[in-house]
Structure 1
Amino acid sequence: MTSFLYRLGRSAFRKRRWVLLLWVAVVAVVGFKGLTAAAGSDDSSSMPGIESQKAFDLIAQRFPGAAADGAGARIVFVAPDGQKVTAAGNREAIEKTVAEAAAGGQVASAVDPFRANAVSEDGTTAYATVTYKVTGKDLSDGSRTELQRALGDARKAGLTVESGGDAVAAQTEAGGIGEAAGVLVAALVLLVTFGSMAAAGLPLLTAVIGVATSMMAILALSSAFGLSSSTGTLATMLGLAVGIDYAMFIVSRYREERGKGHTSLEAAGRATGTAGSAVVFAGLTVVVALAGLSIVGVPMLTKMGLAAAGAVLLSVVIALTLVPALLGFWPDAVLPRALHRRIRKSRGAGAATSTGAASVSGAAAGPGAGAGPRESRWARFVLRRPLPVLLLSVVGLGALALPVADLQLGMSGDEAKPTSTTERRAYDDLAKGFGPGFNGPLTIVVDAQGAPDATGAVNTIVKKIAATDGVVSVSEPRFNQAGDTAIVSATPSTSPTSKQTENLVHTIRGERAGLESATDATFQVTGTTAANIDVAQKMQSALIPYLAVVVGLAFLLLLVVFRSLVVPVKAAVGFLLSVLASLGAVVAVFQWGWAADLLGVEQTGPIMSMMPIFLVGIVFGLAMDYQVFLVSRMREAYVHGQSPGRAMVTGFGHSARVVVAAALIMMSVFSGFVTAGESMIKMIGFGLAIAVLFDAFVVRMAFVPAVLALLGHRAWWLPRWLDRVLPRVDIEGEALTRADVEGKALTGADVEAEATAHGDTPGAQPSERSRETAGI
């Protein structure tokens, strides 16, 4: 593989114009297809295999039109202290507000609270429901403005008026200035790391090209494969992350090879052959993690995972082709100033090589050019004291992982939003006026097709559910046209996210067997609250199989890459430590409330159901990136004859600074989401940022070198029979150290001979042809 990638890098460098034109054509074609493609259907709510989804499908079948997907808004009215909403003046203002809301252009209906019995027992609170003809994403700004204008009359009358629902939530911007700040910090980290605007900008440029192309491809395929706008969320996040990482590692290795005295052409080939090999296998581990999301059995997750996997593959291809091509246009611009000055001085003095590489051999090339003093100092410290470092890292991460034992999954709603939002205030007003369970009613679907007396069977089931502890009230059953199916709404006494409500759902379902035998009818529990409970259980049960699959497949890949039994095991253990520690930190902050005020978390509650799966998938990919790039340099030094300890120090010094830079970039990007207004966005941003912190700085910088230092030669041991079976991939560039690679490195003499053949004289400025041959 190294030889193939070496030739690929040289070819892309030499034929840079054709490579650039090819990528411009690809971006143009994919962009045109994406912008002109029909929108895909949004099936993100589909969750097969759970009872609440089966009940929802039954409602859609037996009650045609009942499962309308139009947006909805709930207007909550609260009377001033000492008054009631039923007072003449208040009632008149409420009725006027509802009538004005009903007159909106996209409104299907608006229900008066006094006609719908939507007034609290104490008369202090009432609510009106507004239903729209279109979905939330299709609701116009004018319709939202009309709704807010309608609320003004009731407020003028002295009533407190708040609103909730997806029609209102669509107005809420989840973003914050932190996202832009995160990208800015990432650019600054690249600039500080490389000391060159070109070297810092090239990874950002190629990453943006990759993300834009991926998103346009997702849009182009949205109609054919049922992809929605949310499908590209993970693809954007990971495409940007690995796109920067992969390009940065190749640019870093290119600078290192130039510092060793190689021509720009040869350096591009060697960087693509060595760092490019690591990019390929790092990308494969990420693809394994993302494609593994399909085993969860959730269509949305499967599509998001596969789309993100495609984005990662595209990032790999861009890193292997477009990056060396762009280096061909500006071969010296990405170099540090010291090396750049040496090359220009060498050219001016008429050096033998047109790039001046021969005279600057061994010059510092910035990150990756050699073992940095700080990095090597830390590596030598770990080499001297491996056991304390190992114990401290394991014990520290283990302690941070302890809160995971209390992990509670769920889906928070308006109660998790800041109190500055009208949705949160409407939620609180309804809970105060109608009880904490009012915001999360349970929908019971009774199927009495097989019962001789459908009405009697439904009434028997309703009475039993109403008598269940924890149920405050049960609505009158609403039958379908055939009279064999009914829908009932049951209001719990506790909030939707409480453990008591979850237990109540299980209790009601546990009564089904006895009622079925007594009535010849059956029922299912659905609704938002029950669906959230079912999804949480599905995600929790899928987490362990998902971990087993991705870690197992990654073990096989790393076994092939490093030809060692210990290194893949160490990588898997380190990854599990970082993931568990980050989940523990998320539980401590967002569920227990530790330091929640510092992050602006106003309401603690269950952890988002998909958070652990997302965290495992994304962090696994990034962790394996850092593992491959860091340890491959250690193995490269070991294969080339260094002792295990010395190889660890050498590899650490070569790669640590770039790995740290990559981790800081990812932490900056992810931390930007912590400033968002939505608690769920905060949770994702915090979880990913803290996971990268633990994995890059604790696991890869302490745990990994400590294990290697303790094991010595045994770390690279592989049984002979397994060594014969495994394919050889030469990720360390062993083939490039021998003279048997097709298209050998160009020396100064080669360049001089090539220049003379095209009419250039040694010491003069090279012609365009000789410049291209030499790689200038």
Structure 2
Amino acid sequence: MFRALGNLASRRPWFVIAAWVVVAVGVVAFAPALQTTQEESEFLPDHYESVKATELQSTEFPGATTPAAILVFERADGAALTEDDQAEVGRIAEELGPRLGKETFVPQVVTITPDGQPQLAEDGLAQLGVIGLAEGATGFDPQAFEDGEALREDLADLTDGTDLEVQSTGSVLQGLDSQDSSERSLAIVGIATIVLIVGLLAIIFRSVIICLMPVVIVTLVSMIATGLIGWANEAFDLKADSSIETILVVVLYGIGTDYILFFLFRYRERLRQGADTRAAVVHALERAGEAIASAGGAVIVAFLALLLSSLGIFQAIGPALAIAVAVTLVAALTLVPAVVTVLGRALFWPSKKWRREPEAARFAQAGRSLGRRPGVFAAASGLLMAVLALFALQFSPSFDFSASLPEDVESTQALETFQDHFSAGASEPVPVIVRADEGGTLEESALESYAAALGEAEGVDQVYPPQLSEDGSTAQISLVLAEDPASDAAMKDVEGPIRDVAHSEAPEGTEAYVGGTPSVFADLQDAMARDYSVVFPVAALVIMVILALLLRSLVAPWYLMAAVGLGFAATLGATVIVFQHIGGDEGLIFMLPIYIYLFVTALGTDYNILMIARLREEAREGRSPRDAAAEAVKHAGPTIAAAGVILAGTFASLMLSGNSLMMSMGFALSFGILVAAFVMSMFFTPALTALIGHAAWWPGHGDEKRPGHGSDAEDSTASVPGTSEPGTSEPGAEVSAGR
């Protein structure tokens, strides 16, 4: 199969290149834009209590959902608001309403509480204006963000010439600031990723064309992948969070560059043996194609396991990343060989050192040491990962996407100002929706007693009077919590005492649902616990099957996956140390363990395959398990080092985004890749294989010496990913040789 692809790409390179360009133009012209959301409740299935509460609230009390915007008014000189200032706030609110976009915002700014009192801080230094959503509006669509921009412009005009200053926050404004932040992050991460890849390739190859080739190819691939993802999201109503575009950039450039490296090193090796360009392309794809396909297959399978998640965010992210990797994989097997064929030996210009085989002295020395003392290397590398893994038990999940916003955006500053003057829970009262059984109506006396009971619940600061729906069948009781609604403390209060009281004290013949942000967070926590128990084992099982088929062994997949699991736990533990213990964060975004698990499992498995495949090849040459491990580290080590450094570097670029979610994810994924490359695959896996010996290959015994093995350079490579001709250095040897 891979030889056939090589023949196609080398004989008709311009046809292959033209086909990719035509597809890219078509996708860009007709594919829908990639839409994202930050509304956490959209990620949950309908059977969760918070979702039921939101649906009832939007139906029976339109405009009373999470505030679209919160306006915080202060005097410019910091003094207390006078009666004239309060009147000015009323004027601004009255004039602002009609100026707002009617498709999104309710044409009214509320400056009084449900019980008719001005929304003035106890210290008299600030006053609030609250804006709800129009019926049917989500607050997280492009129209909402356009209206949010118009709102801020109108506020600037209306406060001009007064003694007042105003800051705006709330769901729409936080979404707007998050969108702007994501766009800046995307630009920063994209530039940093490209600069990093170009710099590393320049060090490895000393070629101008090779430095630019991944940038051009991956840019073309990203256009197609993004369009296909947009179609998939539209067809299956998938909802991804706003971080997906930034993650896609890193995944496409990082993994795409790795696959290009796998091919280029094979291509160069064949050229050194005297083959012409076309023959070298066919040979390189025949030998590297299986490595690339197995690497991509493991990553795609891991991402598709997210379809088993109960959360819409993962159901969207999984296919999105799988599509991106699949397009990258196809490009590596078709477009890359075609481009290399067209460029020929000019690909390496201006360097001429590619003709000489470098020596991997450092890796050879490390390999000899491991071969002599595999037990020491296995114990040391395993102990290092185990110690870090202990800290994974202290992982504290955070479910607040708005907490990842930079500190310098207006919505964050407005929220800080709000919390300086008002009760922490006043920014978003938690609704309790009470609905009478079918055909029934609610009695006001029973509702008042119910509201009093809710007011006694732990964590509740204040209870607003019940609001009845038009038909009298549904009521809303708003609770002001003692804690910030986005905090872990508020979530614990809601999932514990508040829900307990809401359910047990509900009037007879009714059913109660607790909604709001902390209720969403509580349900997200339950959903994540379920997903961990399903997604993790399924992804591990499928990858184990792939390993068993590739290695033709029932033993090796078990300890390889155990090593990957240990690498995952060590990565999560290191992230907890850096961000929770050293950085002082209360928690890390809840989706982080899933991302770490999938990337470290999939990519760590790829590096394990490269190492153990080379080890088996050396064993087939007649070497003992320890000598085979030593040679495998010498030859496969540089490959893994080059791939690991580039991929870890691309993930590390996420830390430049200024977004706390992206920073923690960038650190975790880059650290995980480094652990997978330089601890797990480089030392732990070959050391364990050397200790287990021939039993590692049961029942296939693929490590046994075969008659005539190695006698022909063309036939001497084992038919598993990552192998190479005896005596040649694996891809990336230049990293250690300095060429």
TM-score bracket, shorter-length normalisation: 0.7 to 0.9
* 1:515/1:522 contact within 8 Å kept: no
Q: Does 1:122 align with 2:123?
A: yes
Q: In the TM superposition, what are the counterparts of 1:141-220 in structure 2 within 5 Å?
A: 144=149, 147-148=152-153, 150-151=155-156, 154=159, 159=164, 161-169=166-174, 170-171=176-177, 172-174=180-182, 175-176=184-185, 177=188, 179-220=190-231
Worse-superposed segment, 376-385 or 151-160: 151-160
Aligned residue identity for 2:237: G
C-alpha deviation, 1:558, in angstroms: 0.4
**Matching of residue 441 in structure 1 with residue 446 in structure 2:** no
Change (3 A) 1:738 1:13: same
- Summarize deviations over 1:581-615 as a string: whole Å, max 9, x none: 222233233333x0x3xxxxxx7222212222222
- Alignment match, 1:316: 329
> In the alignment, does 2:614 pair up with 1:633?
yes
On the 8 A contact 2:239/2:312 being kept in 1, the answer is: no
Q: Quick one: distance in 2 between partners of 1:138 and 1:669?
A: 34
1:90 aligns with 2:85: yes
Once the two structures are superposed, residues 176-201 of structure 1 have per-residue CA deviations (whole angstroms, 9 ceiling, x without a partner) of 54542232012111221223223333
User: Following TM superposition, by how much is the alpha carbon of 1:253 offset from its aligned partner in structure 2, in angstroms?
Assistant: 1.3
Q: Distance in 2 between matches of 1:575 and 1:641?
A: 29
Aligned partners of 2:303, 2:354: CA distance in 1, in Å?
A: 44
Q: Is the 8 A contact 2:363 2:637 kept in 1?
A: yes
Alignment partners' CA distance in 1, 2:640 and 2:73: 55
Give 1:291 deviation, angstroms. Answer: 0.8
Secondary structure, aligned partner of 1:669: helix
1:559 CA drift (Å): 0.8
Answer whether contact 1:376 1:649 (CA < 8 A) is retained. Answer: yes
* C-alpha distance in structure 2 between counterparts of 1:219 and 1:165, whole Å: 28
Report the CA distance shift for 1:713/1:570 in structure 2 as closer, same or farther (over 3 A): same
Q: What's the counterpart of residue 23 of structure 2?
A: 26
Distance in 2 between the 1:586 and 1:113 partners?
43
Q: Offset at 1:681?
A: 2.1
Q: 2: distance between equivalents of 1:544 and 1:736?
A: 46
Q: Distance in 2 between matches of 1:182 and 1:16?
A: 28
Corresponding residue number in structure 2 for 1:575: 564
Q: Please list, as runs of the form range in 1=range in 2, the aligned pairs for 1:709-748 lying within 5 A after superposition.
A: 709-718=690-699, 736-737=714-715
- How big is the shift at 1:498? 4.3
Q: Which amino acid aligns with 1:180?
A: I
Q: Which amino acid aligns with 1:546?
A: V
Counterpart residue identity of residue 331, structure 2? I
Give secondary structure in 1 for the equivalent of 2:107. Answer: strand
Q: 1:279 to 1:88 in 2, by over 3 A?
A: same
* Equivalence for 1:514: 504
Shift of 1:490: 1.0
- Aligned residue type for 1:186: I
Tell me whether 502-511 or 286-295 shows the greater mean CA deviation: 502-511
Amino acid at match of 2:513: Q
Deviation, structure 1 residue 38: 7.8
Number of the residue aligned with 1:409: 397
* Change in 2 beyond 3 A, CA 1:413/1:430: farther
Matched residues in 2 for 1:634 and 1:39: separation?
44
How far residue 474 of structure 1 moved from its aligned partner, in angstroms, is 1.1
Distance 2:284 2:555 in 1: 27
Could you tell me which residue of structure 1 aligns to residue 685 of structure 2?
704
Shift of 1:550: 0.5
Does structure 1 residue 372 correspond to structure 2 residue 364?
no
TM-score (norm 1): 0.81
CA distance in 2, matches of 1:418, 1:203: 31
Which of the residues 99, 102, 110 maps onto 1:104? Answer: 99
**In the alignment, is residue 249 of structure 1 matched against residue 262 of structure 2?**
yes
**Structure 1 residue 573: deviation in Å?**
1.8
The alpha carbon displacement at 1:296 in A equals 1.2
The 3 A distance-change label for structure 1 pair 227 and 521 is closer
Deviation, 1:738, is 7.3
- Residues 82 and 280 of structure 1: is their aligned pair in 2 closer, same or farther, counting only changes over 3 Å? closer
Q: Separation in 2 of the partners of 1:223 and 1:515?
A: 43
Q: Say if 2:70 is the partner of 1:74.
A: yes
Q: Residue 186 and residue 459 in structure 1: after superposition, are their counterparts in 2 closer, same or farther (change >3 A)?
A: same
TM-fit CA distance, 1:14: 1.9
Encode CA deviations 1:254-304: one digit per residue, 9 max, x unaligned: 112222333333322222122111111121111111110011112332122
Show structure 1 runs of 5+ residues with no match: 343-362, 597-602, 724-731, 742-776
Q: Does 1:268 align with 2:249?
A: no
- Does residue 544 of the first structure (1) align with residue 533 of the second (2)? yes
Task: Give me the whole-angstrom Cα distance separating, in 2, the residues matched to 1:26 and 1:504.
Answer: 53
Say if 2:238 and 2:315, in contact at 8 Å, map to a contact too: no
Distance 1:202 1:316 in 2: 16
Moved more, 499-508 or 135-144: 135-144
Deviations 1:660-719 (A, max 9, x none): 222222222222221223222222222222222222222122212221232233332326
Q: Which residue of 2 aligns with 1:759?
A: none
Q: Give the deviation of 1:105 after TM superposition.
A: 4.8
Q: Secondary structure at the match of 2:344?
A: coil
- Decide whether the 8 Å contact of 1:104 with 1:147 is kept in 2: no
Amino acid at match of 1:375: F
For 1:104 and 1:671, locate their aligned partners in 2 and report how far apart those are by CA, in whole Å. 44
Picking from 286, 289, 292, the partner of 2:299 is 286
The 3-state SS of whatever aligns with 1:604 is: coil
Is the counterpart of residue 666 in structure 1 residue 644 in structure 2? no
Highest CA radius of gyration, 1 or 2?
A: 1
1:565 corresponds to which of 549, 554, 559: 554
Secondary structure of 1:330's counterpart equals: helix
Retained in 1: the 8 A contact 2:64–2:133?
A: no
- Shift of residue 471, structure 1, vs aligned partner: 0.8
Match of 2:476, SS state, is strand
User: How many residues are treated as equivalent by the alignment?
Assistant: 689
Flag structure 2 segments of 5+ consecutive residues without an equivalent: 703-709, 720-739
CA displacement at 1:403 relative to structure 2: 2.6
* 3-state secondary structure, aligned to 1:75: strand
Deviation at 1:657, TM superposition (A): 2.3
Letter of the structure 1 residue corresponding to residue 202 of structure 2: L
- Aligned to 2:579, which of 586, 590, 593? 590
CA distance in 1, matches of 2:643, 2:699: 31
Q: C-alpha displacement at 1:551, in angstroms?
A: 0.7
Once the two structures are TM-superposed, the CA of residue 50 in structure 1 deviates from its matched residue by: 2.1
Q: Distance in 2 between matches of 1:239 and 1:82?
A: 50
1:531, distance to aligned residue in structure 2 (A): 0.4
Match of residue 734 from structure 2: none
- The offset of 1:417, in angstroms, is 4.1
Match of 2:9 in 1: 12
2:13, 2:700 → 1: CA distance? 44
What SS class does the counterpart of residue 519 from structure 1 fall into? Answer: coil
Contact 2:263 2:284 in 1 (8 A): yes
Post-superposition CA distance 1:223-252 (Å, at most 9, x none): 433356758635544333322211210111
Aligned equivalents of 1:663, 1:477: Cα separation in 2: 59
| 1:77 partner SS | strand
Q: Against the structure 1 CA distance between its residues 378 and 738, is the aligned structure 2 distance closer, same or farther, given a 3 Å change threshold?
A: closer
Q: Distance in 1 between matches of 2:350 and 2:617?
A: 28
Q: What secondary structure sits across from 1:469 in the alignment?
A: coil
- Which residue does the alignment assign to 1:692? 673
Residue aligning to 2:466: 477
> Displacement, 1:378?
1.8
Q: Distance between the aligned counterparts of 1:532 and 1:459, measured in 2?
A: 28
Give the letter aligned to residue 455 of structure 2.
A
Moved more, 118-127 or 638-647: 638-647
User: Please, what is the CA RMSD of the aligned residues?
Assistant: 3.3
Q: Residues 141 and 157 (structure 1 numbering): CA distance in 2 closer, same or farther, change over 3 Å? A: same
Conserved in 1, the CA contact under 8 Å of 2:10 and 2:278?
Answer: yes
Distance 1:562 1:340, change over 3 A: same
In 1, distance between residues paired with 2:480 and 2:147?
35
State the AA in 1 paired with 2:558.
V
Aligned to 2:657: 676
Q: Aligned pair 1:461/2:450, yes or no?
A: yes
